[in-house]
Amino acid sequence: MPGHGTPLDELVVPDGTEAQERDLVTDGDVLLGTRATVEFGVRGRNVVASEGVRFGGAIEAEGDCRLDMWADVAESVLVGGDAYLGERVHIGGELMVAGDLDIGDDVDIEEGFEANGWIVIRNPMPTIVFLFVYLKHLLVVGEEDAAQRLIDELIDEDAAAEPETEPLVVPANGTVSDDAWRVSTPARIGDECRLHGNVRAESITVGRDTELYGSLRARGDIHVESGTVVHGDVTTRDGSITLAEGVRVLGDISCGELELGTDTVVDGVMRAAGQITMQNDPRPEAD
| DSSP string for residues in 76-109 | -EEESS-EEE-TT-EESS-EEESS-EEE-TT-EE
SS3 call for 184:
coil
pLDDT band (50, 70, 90) for residue 138: low
**CA–CA separation, 241 and 113 (whole Å):** 50
**CA–CA separation, 96 and 113 (whole Å):** 6
CA distances from 223 to 6, 235, 264 (A): 20, 11, 13
Residue of 63, 62, 66 whose CA lies nearest to 50: 66
pLDDT value for 16: 95
**CA–CA separation, 18 and 211 (whole Å):** 10
pTM of the model: 0.81
Kindly report, residue by residue over 186-209, the tens digit of the pLDDT.
999 999 999 999 999 999 999 999
pLDDT value for 22: 87
pLDDT band (50, 70, 90) for residue 121: confident
pLDDT value for 134: 56
pLDDT value for 250: 97
The answer to which of 6-15, 29-38, 85-94, 232-241 has the lowest mean pLDDT is 6-15
Q: Residue 256 above 70 pLDDT?
A: yes
Average pLDDT in the 143-172 region? 65
